[in-house]
Structure 1
Amino acid sequence: MSKTTSKPPDTVSALHSAPDLEWLEENVPRASAFQDTYFSRAGGLEETRHVFLGGNGLPERWQDRETFAIAEFGFGTGLNFLTTLQALRRLGTAPKLTFLSFELFPMTKDQLERALGAFPELAAETKELLQTWAPEPGWCRFAFEGAELLLAVGDAREMVDEPVRGKVVVPEIDAWYLDGFSPSKNPELWGEELLKAAFKLTAVDGTLATYTSAGWVRRNLQTAGFAINKCKGFAGKREMAVGKKG
């Protein structure tokens, strides 16, 4: 397995520095701190479509909607957002999308460009993201045609309380993409209290999807209030989890 290590200059802040990345074959980024890749080496774009769009019944649920809100813990490379944006734009009539994402270590523009270069099908959307990418600690808004990206740069466990308490105005969440690093390596993003906060932000008929089917994660989701089921996972993963606000 060939790899190189990159430590680009911090373009965000001393508190929320860019991640230290290892670059695997075909420019797949892996976070040194978590020893986990940002997307599946079996096909990141296909995984996003299978797990997060398919697991949340998209794009079917966009029909006859004027607005739709999606949230995730971990913006990463932005692959989930860009894949969703592309799918939305392919519809004849699409709702206005609000995409809420929490990220403690936002990538630099150079890191994003290298990582997203693996997905030429998303070249147009990637170009838009790179042109506007300038994250700062706190809440950042980025405007796209047909969508708004609301990026919370900081610890999700702290910042999720702000929309819950009404300090930051966001719509109720219609679908969650639970896409943190592996629960065994990044348990903070799968904790019971954080998932309870996610539940409070969720619309009555809101859904969730995640690539993991780990038992303790499913139990935490159920404790938070979600009804959880398992279904076929992506590529070599036998199962994944989906859920709905119960």
Structure 2
Amino acid sequence: MPELPEIEVVCRGLAPHLKNRVIAGVWYSGKKLRHDFDLELAKKTIINQEVISVKRRARYLVIQIGRHSLVVHLGMTGNLGIFPAASKKLRHTHIILTLDNDMELRFSDTRRFGSVQLFENSSFESLEQTFFQKFGPEPFDAECTPYYLHEKAKKRKIAVKNLIMDNQIITGTGNIYANESLFQAGIKPGRKACSITLREWEKLHQAIVEILLWAIDCGGSTISDFIDASGSKGYFQANFRVYGRAKQPCPNCNTPITSEKIGGRSSFYCRKCQK
């Protein structure tokens, strides 16, 4: 499933093509997605309206059109791209927004676990109080500090990896980047969150931010079906130091990388480098 860096790359790719364009038409395949798409409501509210902004929150894209917003989740195999209106649409295309320049924003999804939801009279800011109300801060936010994470963790006995993947605590640290960040910080993923010292949280918070920014610069990771808005694949996976490298040598000490399930998710770490 695309994580924060992949969605940020899509957001940055789409924004220049969508901002200030006017929606000229809406099409829907009628096939069931993760959430229902209300075509009639879309026709009534966003046609002839200007795209105000394209932003990301957690793993969601928020496209504000006039006074309304589309909230997009790519699920496992979803993709958003800009195409000439005259071009043939892909087999699994489900939603199309026709723009005023004969281009189209197309949402395709082979497995249909993604969604496009329309929220009336909702801006990016107002969605923070409704749709995103239960989401924690992002690693880049001013309120997401090592002290904040230490306070949230000090009474929690769950694995630290599970805590940093909890969207109500901190959003955007998915499985891939949690593994990589914990390796960079030298912290074993299965350690109890309450055992992590403030100094260790300083290292881990810095690692999370650095790893995510690095992944964004690399265009994300090509895991399963992810491609960005231009159709290009990310290449951060070439920089994986532990994720998906079970039994391969640790890049620091050559100890074989260990793999185990933590919280139902595959976890990778070095028994020697991570404590």
Q: TM-score, normalised by structure 1?
A: 0.27
**Larger-gyration structure (1/2):** 2
Structure with a larger share of its residues in strand: 1
Q: TM-score, normalised by structure 2?
A: 0.25
Structure with a larger share of its residues in helix: 1
